[in-house]
Amino acid sequence: MIATVTLNPAIDKIIVVDEIKNFSNNKIKQIKLDIGGKGTHVSSVLSDLGLKNVATGILGGYTGSILESLLGKKNIQCQFIHPPNYETRTSYIIIEENKNNHFMLTERGNKVDEKSINELVEMIIKLSSSCEFMVFSGGVSPGFNIDIYKKLIELANKNGCKTFLDASGDYLLEGIKARPFMIKPNIDEICDIIGHRPENIKEIVFHAQKLIKSGIKVVAVTLGSDGSLIVSENEAFRIYPPKVKAINTVGCGDVFFGSSIFKLYHKSTLREAFKFATAVSASKAMKLMTSEFDINEALRLLDDVLIKDV
């Protein structure tokens, strides 16, 4: 079994307008609700690829119940902790169709009480003893300590689970101390780790290899539309994505992360896994919804994904 952990999930509200005029009342053409939050996005991707999975983390209130129903529709098993008086946050993704533009507005999320955090720790201990893979992904609700990912990953590692981390800032810096199996930093998160903006790919490889030496098995660095860089003990390679016409790139990182984990769960090599993840992510970029992709389109795009050793 595979489980995802989301400490600050969200509902994604996708709002489509023709074009925004400032100081004006702009009519919404279309509004859609989707699963939001990084870990829950990964769950959605795994489920869309046909892999049953469990979603856990923190969730509550009216928006929480909508999110649970969206996850349920995808046959994702929900085992969330529900803090009292806690309302799951909403992220707003605004799409300006005429300008081929989009941007996201994200709420910070509500504070989680200590009792609920303790319940979550118990849930992670329980789940990681019955799961092979556990995915920790996304920002953290106020109330958690910065070492929360470190603590949870240590517990899961101890139970023999392969752990995956996608986080940023202090949560990432603390989290990597627990030596997760794989991390997926983007370029900003690599800056968090190195302490400055790397000058070139060579410098990123150098720091990724330092992380590998510390005990992390795979470092997958996403570079936006420039693809990704994968480093393990035995190899380092860059992946160049196919050129596609993007509609909404929000969620591409989660789709990339989720589909690489899907392949690794099915014992693929790193090259196979990340080539596949790149194609699925390119398909996602062409879709309106934040975790939507077309697997047949992704399979057609596979041939246009290039891999080069670095």
Residue 28 or 299 having the CB closest to a copy of itself: 28
Give yes or no for residue 306 binding a copy of itself (CB under 8 A): no
- Counting residues that bind a copy of itself (by CB under 8 A) gives 25
Among 106, 109, 74, which residue's Cα sits nearest to residue 91?
106
Separation between Cα atoms, residue 234 and residue 260, nearest integer Å: 18
Give yes or no for residue 102 binding a copy of itself (CB under 8 A): yes
Piece in contact with a copy of itself (CB under 8 A), picked from 12-20, 47-55, 169-177, 258-266: 12-20
Among 177, 31, 32, 54, which residue's Cα sits nearest to residue 126?
54
Report CA Rg, the chain: 19
Residue 103 or 111 having the CB closest to a copy of itself: 103
- Is residue 138 within 8 A of residue 4, CB to CB? The reply is no
CA distances from 157 to 18, 54, 166, 172, 216 (A): 48, 18, 16, 16, 12
Residue 137 or 157 having the CB closest to a copy of itself: 137
Residue 179 or 253 having the CB closest to a copy of itself: 253
When binding is defined by CB under 8 A, the residue of 5, 17, 76, 156 that contacts a copy of itself is 17
Give yes or no for residue 299 binding a copy of itself (CB under 8 A): no
Q: Which residue has the tokens 């209130």?
A: 61
| Closest distance of CB 23 from a copy of itself, Å | 7
Separation between Cα atoms, residue 173 and residue 253, nearest integer Å: 19
Residue 21 or 202 having the CB closest to a copy of itself: 21
Site residues (CB under 8 A) for a copy of itself, limited to 206-265 = 249-250
Give yes or no for residue 169 binding a copy of itself (CB under 8 A): no
Q: Going residue by residue from 28 to 57, which x/- string records binding to a copy of itself, judged by CB under 8 A?
A: x--x--------------------------
Task: Cite the DSSP H helix spans in 95-200.
Answer: 114-128, 148-158, 169-175, 187-194
CA distances from 278 to 48, 207, 246, 282 (A): 16, 23, 14, 6
Piece in contact with a copy of itself (CB under 8 A), picked from 3-11, 105-113, 142-150, 260-268: 105-113
CA dihedral 123, 125, 128, 130 (to 10 degrees): -80
Separation between Cα atoms, residue 216 and residue 52, nearest integer Å: 26
- Is residue 71 within 8 A of residue 35, CB to CB? The reply is yes
| Closest distance of CB 142 from a copy of itself, Å | 13
When binding is defined by CB under 8 A, the residue of 52, 72, 75, 105 that contacts a copy of itself is 105
217: amino acid identity, one letter? K
Give yes or no for residue 94 binding a copy of itself (CB under 8 A): yes
Piece in contact with a copy of itself (CB under 8 A), picked from 27-35, 49-57, 203-211, 255-263: 27-35
Piece in contact with a copy of itself (CB under 8 A), picked from 15-23, 174-182, 212-220, 269-277: 15-23
**At 265, phi and psi to the nearest 5?**
-60, -35
Binding site for a copy of itself (CB under 8 A): 15, 17, 20-28, 31, 62, 92, 94, 101-108, 249-250
